[in-house]
Chains A and B, each alone.
Chain A
Amino acid sequence: MRLTASLFAIALVSGCATPPPADDKEAVAEWEQVNDPLEPMNRAVFEFNTAIDKALIKPIATGYREVVPAYGRERVRDALNNLRSPIILANDILQGEPDRAMQTLMRFAFNTGFGIGGLFDVASPGGIPYHDEDFGQTFAVWGVGEGPYLVLPILGPSNPRDTSGLAVEWLSDPFNLWMDNTGRDWVVWTRTGVAGIDKRESLLDTLDEVEKSSLDYYAAVRSLYRQRRAADVKNGGGNGENSPNLNLSAVEPPAASGN
């Protein structure tokens, strides 16, 4: 409660970024490309997240990596991935991807059965590789724009579209609903916690690298998040000409400008 109140206060104090004057066309183009009108607030939340991460989340993820051998962490990840199957299947279907939906369904059947409740991903070596999907990506496929960049407390980089997707997922996950309805909500919290640690562990090296080599960690993460999401939406296909805002050549400086 206190946390929410102080975050709200930060948001009020820091407010919005000031857009450049309309007659400076290139600055306006850059402003639109960066897509971060709430930057002061986002930076404050990012700083808060970084502090929590350094003090708590990252040490836990590092400890998890050191204590649990790779074999054990693989079992955890395989089980978490398998639990996501219903959500992934729903999104495969909602995106009109019957082949991928079939893959998800087969994986769920094989891994839950032969893989002892999902602990072993037997489908991947058998030729049906894992893929992830979420409601944020489905909304994107339906033509919903990402909206302004948004840093969520604890959860990190997002945007209104992906945040809505996350909310839908929380409300609709069949496994969580089942646990909730049978009075075992501790299972839901355990799953969420373990998934968070697994995710942070998988990002340990990448984020360390980005932080070490960047001049502005916030801006680097913002750009990387938006590009990665755009690539996820396209399921890794295409040649990278995803959205005009993220296209390198579209924003190349004009040959000559009259200033």
Chain B
Amino acid sequence: MLSRRSLIGLVAAVVSTFAVSLPARAEMETEARAFIQKLADTAMNNVAVKGISNEDRANRFRTLFVDTFDLPEIGKLVLARHWRVATPEQQQEFLRLFEDIQVYTWTRRFKDYSGETLEILGVQPESGGDFLVDSRMLREKLEPIAVSWRVRREGDVFKVLDIKVEGASMALTHRSEYGSVIQSAGGRVDGLLQALRKKVAQLRAETLAAAN
């Protein structure tokens, strides 16, 4: 049985938790929204601009990507159980290759963007203290695309952990895909790294060789 005193203490604790955390959470949600808005603005005004070279665009995207995404954490989420059996060297190489794949894939996509805008719809709490910023990409003459950003507060900055496009998580898709590559390589992380190296070389050549 709870004593009367401890019950009052408990109630007081609960009340004070809410009293402190509700305004704090609302503030965090506002900040998370501002963070994604700024990210989208930078992407459109700095990366998706016309008249720059492919290489320049790739560099601009890389800067934005490394700045706003928590790559080591994404690496852990994507490799999951394979992350822990990988050596530190393998982990580092994986992060480098993963970054390159994203850079060359998105550089090509951003080149073709025109007139897209991101409309932020709302923010909701996610498990693990993260936030999910729901938005949609408005396109000219095409159906809008639902995009949700999973963001985490790290110190005094926010970082993106995952993007869900029309309900499909990119981290989860990569995990499933890379897990399959590792499996077909007999469970060796090296098999994945080898495949990634090949893919990066191919994407890099295609992206940089394309007409500016």
Beta-carbon contact of B126 and A239 below 8 Å: yes
The CA of A239 and the CA of B76, in the complex, are separated in Å by 22
Q: How many residues of A contact B (CB 8 A)?
A: 35
Known: A230-B167, A240-B169, A248-B169. Is A223-B176 also a contact (CB below 8 A)?
A: yes
Q: How many residues of B contact A (CB 8 A)?
A: 40
Does chain B have a CB within 8 A of A215? yes
Q: Which of B109, B150, B173 contacts A227 (CB 8 A)?
A: B173
Beta-carbon contact of B176 and A248 below 8 Å: no
Beta-carbon contact of A236 and B146 below 8 Å: yes
Majority SS at the chain B contact face:
helix
Q: Which of B81, B128, B175 neighbours the largest number of chain A CB atoms within 10 Å of its CB? A: B81
For B184, list chain A residues within 8 Å (CB): 216
Chain B residues within 8 Å of A, Cβ to Cβ: 76-77, 80-81, 83-84, 101, 105, 109, 124, 126-128, 132, 141, 146, 148, 150, 162, 164, 166-169, 171-173, 175-181, 184, 192, 195-196, 199, 203
Q: Which of A220, A249, A253, A257 contacts B176 (CB 8 A)?
A: A220
Beta-carbon contact of B166 and A251 below 8 Å: no
The CA of A172 and the CA of B175, in the complex, are separated in Å by 39
Beta-carbon contact of B171 and A248 below 8 Å: yes
Known: A216-B177, A240-B148. Is A227-B84 also a contact (CB below 8 A)?
A: no
Majority SS at the chain A contact face:
helix
Beta-carbon contact of B167 and A232 below 8 Å: yes
Does chain B have a CB within 8 A of A30? yes
Q: Which of A26, A33, A216, A220 neighbours the largest number of chain B CB atoms within 10 Å of its CB? A: A216
Complex: chain A residue closest to B184, CB-CB: A216
Beta-carbon contact of A253 and B146 below 8 Å: no
Complex: chain B residue closest to A34, CB-CB: B176
Known: A213-B203, A215-B199, A248-B162. Is A220-B173 also a contact (CB below 8 A)?
A: yes
A sample of 28 inter-chain contacts (CB < 8 A) reads A27-B81, A30-B81, A209-B109, A213-B101, A213-B105, A214-B177, A215-B199, A216-B177, A216-B178, A216-B181, A216-B184, A219-B176, A220-B176, A220-B177, A224-B168, A224-B173, A227-B167, A227-B168, A230-B167, A231-B167, A240-B126, A240-B164, A246-B169, A246-B172, A248-B77, A248-B171, A249-B128, A253-B81
Q: Which of B124, B169, B176 contacts A222 (CB 8 A)?
A: B176
Chain A residues within 8 Å of B, Cβ to Cβ: 26-27, 30, 33-34, 70, 209, 212-216, 218-220, 222-224, 227-228, 230-232, 234, 236, 239-241, 246, 248-249, 251-253, 257
The CA of A34 and the CA of B176, in the complex, are separated in Å by 7
